[in-house]
Amino acid sequence: MVAFAWALIKNPDFINKLKYNDINRSECDTSNYCIAVMYSGKTKCILNDKNPDLRILKML
């Protein structure tokens, strides 16, 4: 279940892309950033962030 959650946070259209063979695996790197910020109400994938915090990226 968690693997699907990661994939859907990274790419909300993940299931449809799998269905139509546009992709064959998630682009999620399982850094767990999305889980770390989940309870703040700001769940997001840092890989999708246009201006990511470089300090966080260095930790990944």
- pLDDT, one tens digit per residue, over 3-58 is 788 889 889 999 999 999 999 998 888 788 888 888 888 888 888 877 767 676 66
pLDDT at 23: 92
The answer to whether the CB of 30 falls within 8 A of the CB of 5 is: no
Specify whether the CB–CB gap between 17 and 11 falls below 8 A: yes
- pLDDT of 47 reads 80
Residue type, 39: Y
Domain ranges, ordered by start, for the chain: 2-59
